[in-house]
Amino acid sequence: MMTLDNTRRVPSCRAGAFLLLLLIVTPALWAAESEPRFEIETITVEKAYKFSLDIVIAQSRLETGRAYTERELRDAIYRIVRLPLIINAEFSLRKGSRRGLYELVIEVEEARRWFFGVDGDVSYWAQPISITGLESTDEVTTAPATVGRRYGVGRHGIFFFTLSGQVGTLGLGYTHNNLFKRNILLSLGWSYNDCTQRDDNSSNELGEEGCQTEIYDLGLDPTFSTWSPDNEGNTLRGTLGIPLEGNQSVRLRLVVRGDFSGLRRQAYDTDPDRFYRFEDREDVRFEVAWVSNTLDDPVFPTSGVLVEAGVDFFDLSADLVNVDLTGETPPWSVRMRSRQLSGRFLGRKHWALTDRNSVSGSLRLSLGQSDVNNLPTESRELIDDRLNVWDVRVGFGHSALLYFRRAERSWRELRWQNEIELSGMGTSPSGDLPENPLAGFRLSTGLFYRTTWGVFGLRLSYVDLEGR
């Protein structure tokens, strides 16, 4: 009888869930249908002095002869602002040639052809960390500067060059904003990094650009080691953005790096006399992702949602040579290779509390599997195994607008940004490695000043990551 009663309740539960879904979805659908639509007869772009207005129209994804709601027009403006050429955009409607038709007027604030930026960061680590040379430190200070220029090429193309980094990174790139007349975004770039001038007193932030010290995902290097290049290298980048319905798109990205050499040490190194030299490092990363983006600003968003879901493939290989300054261990070398395939998810939402204050929440998930071959540990043992990899990060942020000045061809904005990120990452099996898995947090606060020339920032951070 008990089984029979439970079985009879199933249809009623399904019916209740269906009714609840209708109560949630129907008002939204009714609101969407009841929202007025405006048929666009013509599109006019105003104050586009330096770059082609066709780029703005292509990025908006709007077409004449179609009707749009106010929300859809506002989302189109947000897509325009994501262009690095545009710092702000607004829209208005004018009466068309006859009743029911409208002229859409998009007024833009362009960025400068020449652009500059400084990203200053002072990070304090709970434990001394190996960054460069043979010393460890708990304070890492960086302030890489960027200078560059954009050139319009045809109706939809932009060519640019950049000089950036603490030592020197030359970058060249080209972006086409309407490939095959389908509003497809194609971006190609090449950069050359010269790290040979770096001395033992310089320090580099953990990152993935130029000569900066890098910590790979634990699936690629489960020893939680820092890789610090000290020679020149080249990087090729390619991105293809295929627009879908509304704010959705598919992104394909390829990054290939090579010809790097440098120093590999465990991040929390207890024996600075033992480390590895790496030569001929090759790093290939390929990503396919679905993206839904309704953020109102790409740099300082105050409202909207960003969702990304996709698959990443990483391939890392290098020649590793052990170095023992004590002379107890004879030199030996090995060619290592790690490959990782993972599914990744990013969700971030921003809420505007007032005209000047907003908060945000974010969630990052990564689950995958990797094959690690011939990767040596500090004790000379070789890792040769298939690993399950996981990475979870939860973030909370706050943004306050301290100063704002807007005038034609003049934009000034000062913001105070705060963030806390909780993280956990590891592999299974984890082996006998002391820093696998890892759990910790990062606190940061900073001031950022944005103009039509670029963004200038200074951030203070505290990082605490501990292994098991």
pLDDT at 24 (0 to 100): 44
Specify the number of domains making up the chain. 2
Last residue of a domain, one of 62, 77, 110: 110
Burial class (CB in 10 A: 0-12, 13-18, 19+), 31: exposed
pLDDT at 139 (0 to 100): 87
Which CATH number fits the domain that encloses residue 69? 3.10.20.310
pLDDT at 116 (0 to 100): 94
Tell me: pLDDT of 274 over 90.
Answer: no
Measured between alpha carbons, how far is 248 from 308 in angstroms, rounded to an integer?
A: 10
pLDDT at 133 (0 to 100): 66
pLDDT at 168 (0 to 100): 59
Lowest mean pLDDT among 223-227, 272-276, 357-361, 372-376: 272-276
Is 141 part of a structural domain of the chain?
A: yes
Structure confidence by residue, pLDDT tens digits, 51-69: 888 999 999 999 999 999 9
Q: How far is CA 75 from CA 37, 51, 453, in A?
A: 14, 21, 25
Whether residues 244 and 331 share a domain: the answer is yes
Structure confidence by residue, pLDDT tens digits, 365-423: 999 999 999 999 877 788 999 999 999 999 999 999 999 998 777 889 999 999 999 99
pLDDT at 148 (0 to 100): 95
| Residue 227 backbone dihedrals phi, psi, to 5 degrees | -115, 115
pLDDT at 20 (0 to 100): 43
Count the Cβ atoms, other than its own, within 10 Å of residue 200. Answer: 9
Whether residues 48 and 123 share a domain: the answer is no
Structure confidence by residue, pLDDT tens digits, 284-340: 999 999 999 999 999 999 999 999 999 999 999 999 999 888 777 788 899 999 999
Is 20 part of a structural domain of the chain?
A: no
pLDDT band, residue 269 (cuts 50/70/90): confident
Whether residues 99 and 212 share a domain: the answer is no
Whether residues 209 and 60 share a domain: the answer is no
pLDDT at 332 (0 to 100): 85
C-alpha closest to that of 71 among 300, 247, 259, 210? 247
Report the run of H or E that residue 81 belongs to, with start and end: helix 70-81
Question: Mean pLDDT throughout 444-455?
Answer: 96
Question: Mean pLDDT throughout 90-110?
Answer: 93
Whether residues 119 and 102 share a domain: the answer is no
Provide, rounded to the nearest whole percent, the portion of the chain with pLDDT above 70.
88
pLDDT at 206 (0 to 100): 46
pLDDT at 210 (0 to 100): 53
Structure confidence by residue, pLDDT tens digits, 170-192: 899 999 999 998 999 999 999 98
Whether residues 96 and 245 share a domain: the answer is no
Cα 106–Cα 110–Cα 114 angle in degrees, nearest 5: 165
Question: Mean pLDDT throughout 334-353?
Answer: 97
Is 23 part of a structural domain of the chain?
A: no
pLDDT at 335 (0 to 100): 95
Q: How far is CA 50 from CA 90, 123, 162, 359, in A?
A: 18, 39, 19, 34
CA dihedral 146, 152, 153, 158 (to 10 degrees): 40
pLDDT at 19 (0 to 100): 52
Tell me the sheet residues that pair with 406: 411
Q: Which two tokens mark 113?
A: 């052809």
Task: Answer whether the bond into residue 437 is a cis peptide, omega within 30°.
Answer: yes
Q: Which two tokens mark 199?
A: 């001395």
pLDDT at 198 (0 to 100): 46
Domain that holds residue 214: 114-467
Amino acid present at 451? T
131/468: higher pLDDT: 131
Provide, rounded to the nearest whole percent, the portion of the chain with pLDDT above 90.
63
pLDDT at 167 (0 to 100): 53
Whether residues 153 and 281 share a domain: the answer is yes
Measured between alpha carbons, how far is 136 from 266 in angstroms, rounded to an integer?
A: 10
Cα 15–Cα 19–Cα 25 angle in degrees, nearest 5: 140
Whether residues 71 and 197 share a domain: the answer is no
Measured between alpha carbons, how far is 362 from 386 in angstroms, rounded to an integer?
A: 30
Q: How far is CA 194 from CA 191, 256, 395, in A?
A: 10, 17, 34
Whether residues 298 and 409 share a domain: the answer is yes
Q: Which two tokens mark 287?
A: 């990503």
Taking a C-beta distance cutoff of 8 angstroms, is the pair 247, 292 a contact? yes
Taking a C-beta distance cutoff of 8 angstroms, is the pair 189, 198 a contact? no
Is 15 part of a structural domain of the chain?
A: no
Is 354 part of a structural domain of the chain?
A: yes
Structure confidence by residue, pLDDT tens digits, 34-48: 689 999 999 999 988
Whether residues 98 and 242 share a domain: the answer is no
Lowest mean pLDDT among 196-210, 273-287, 296-310: 196-210
Q: How far is CA 389 from CA 90, 256, 336, in A?
A: 44, 22, 18
Last residue of a domain, one of 95, 110, 125: 110
Question: Mean pLDDT throughout 4-24?
Answer: 44
pLDDT at 421 (0 to 100): 98
Whether residues 70 and 204 share a domain: the answer is no
- Mean pLDDT, the chain, rounded, equals 87
pLDDT at 34 (0 to 100): 67
Is 21 part of a structural domain of the chain?
A: no
Is 1 part of a structural domain of the chain?
A: no
Taking a C-beta distance cutoff of 8 angstroms, is the pair 414, 455 a contact? no
User: Position of tokens 């932030």?
Assistant: 205
Which CATH number fits the domain that encloses residue 337? 2.40.160
Report the run of H or E that residue 311 belongs to, with start and end: strand 304-324
Count the Cβ atoms, other than its own, within 10 Å of residue 25. Answer: 10
Is 303 part of a structural domain of the chain?
A: yes
114/131: higher pLDDT: 114
Whether residues 120 and 88 share a domain: the answer is no
By three-state DSSP, how is residue 30 classified? helix
Last residue of a domain, one of 110, 139, 163: 110
Note the Cα 283 to chain centre separation in Å: 18
